[in-house]
Amino acid sequence: MKKNYENHGKKKPKVKFVKSRRWHASQESDELIFAVCDRYFFQLGKSAQTPDGEERQRGAAASVAEWIQTEKNRKDISREKIYPLFWEACQRGFLLLQPPIEKNLKKQLEEFYDLENYPGEITVVNVGGDSAAKHVTSTAADLIISLIDRVWKEKKEKYPNNRELQSVHLGMGAGYAAMLVAKRLATKIHSGEDLPQLVLHAISSGGFLPNEPHKAPSTYFTYFDPALTNIKYVALFSATVVGHDDYENLKTNPGIRFSFEQKDDIDIIVTSLAAADHEHGLLVQYLTHLVDQKLLPPNLLGEMRNAGWVGDVQFRPYSVDGPLTDVSPVRAVTLFELDELVELAKNPHNGKYVVLVAGPCGECGASKKDALKPLIANENLRLWTHLVTDAKTARELLE
């Protein structure tokens, strides 16, 4: 038997090493992360008032770290950890920028297009560059929050003892812009405390291409967490497009009829627009797909443009003169026709709102001015109660 002289014949005890968990900002509570942000901006304001003072020399991050260590008894939060906590706050939706509004351009548009007596409201977001589309959609989402509050207040006065009838119904269109609105909207709604019962309606089937499901309303409904929000859904699952003769029959289909029956309950409609000559428009993409598959005539898009097609809202095409109803052998499945939206927008006292998100293309930044102009200039196409656009587009509309 071999003797272990080092341990006098005894087995050396095994040492168990416990690997410490590496710190990450995502481990921290909402309360602490918000406190860091709140204190940081307080320190920045304090430093701005004393440009040569001690606070500016030490830096806001160091001051916040010292405050957290003292007030929250978190000795492990150093200056280096303050910035990761800020990034985590952004991920959790605590820090949402509110873009500036350009009131002078709004006034110019109203005068130029003789809109002084039109009941609709225009919001011009003073942003530009690659992020313009994102900021237009975030402004639209903030506007929708205010409309939800307005509708809820009216319904509580009208139905004081019926929570179900106080529900606010929101109709969401398809597309990249509507998807961005839904993301911001979900973040804002989840951070609120006193909220109505929300009912989200898909107002079109939307999912035109199988590789772009994220642009379909029923897909981005998942941004809204039922655990955080009192929410219900009314989806629209149907064929993407159908023949004109089949459309009326489709609306009686048991799986689709419910969506059409509920459309009059919708209080706020959220939609965007697309230009007829732009490659990222969903209607352009899908019709091109059908032409490539030899399911539609090869010259269809050219014929539609020759007929005056300049844009579409909810995949319903229009010219500068009005809706185009028979320019294609197929049509999209959507709850509202253009003339229905126009009628809703004409009556400012019906408690219904149509928010048109009309910034540049969210994917490439291309202008939509040619498609937007008829929706402002032609009273038979003014299908919006609230129009949200960017400063560059507004200036183009004034040229």
* pLDDT digits 0-9 by tens, 334-348: 999 999 999 999 887
Q: Residue 319 phi/psi, 5° resolution?
A: -110, -175
Helix, strand or coil for residue 214? helix
Alpha helices in the chain (DSSP H): 30-49, 54-58, 60-71, 82-91, 103-112, 132-158, 176-190, 217-220, 244-250, 254-261, 282-292, 300-306, 338-346, 369-377, 391-398
Which sign, positive or negative, has the C-alpha torsion 331, 382, 173, 125? Answer: positive
Binning pLDDT at 50, 70 and 90, where does residue 5 land?
very low
> With bands split at pLDDT 50, 70 and 90, how would you rate the model's confidence at 12?
low
Please report, rounded to a whole number, the percentage of residues in the chain having pLDDT higher than 70. 87
More confident call, 280 vs 389: 389
Selection from 41, 42, 34 nearest residue 72 by Cα: 34
Q: What is the pLDDT of residue 356?
A: 96
**pLDDT at res. 353:** 96
Helix (H, G, I), strand (E, B) or coil at 261: helix
Quick one: what percent of the chain has pLDDT higher than 90? 40
In the chain, where the domains are located: 25-91, 103-398
Each residue of 142-179: pLDDT tens digit?
999 999 999 999 999 999 988 889 999 999 988 778 88
Please name the CATH architecture into which domain 103-398 falls. 3-Layer(aba) Sandwich (3.40)
Range from 14-18, 140-144, 243-247, 254-258 that averages highest in pLDDT: 140-144
Q: Are 250 and 238 contacting, i.e. CB atoms less than 8 angstroms apart?
A: yes
What's the token pair of residue 275?
A: 């230009």
pLDDT of residue 337: 94
Place of tokens 């709102």: 353
231-234 vs 168-172, strand pairing mode: unpaired
pLDDT tens-digit readout, 348-373: 778 899 999 999 987 788 899 999 99
Does residue 111 surpass a pLDDT of 90? yes
DSSP string, 264-300: GG--EEEEEEEETT-TT-HHHHHHHHHHHTTSS-TTH
Mean pLDDT over residues 68-84, rounded?
A: 89
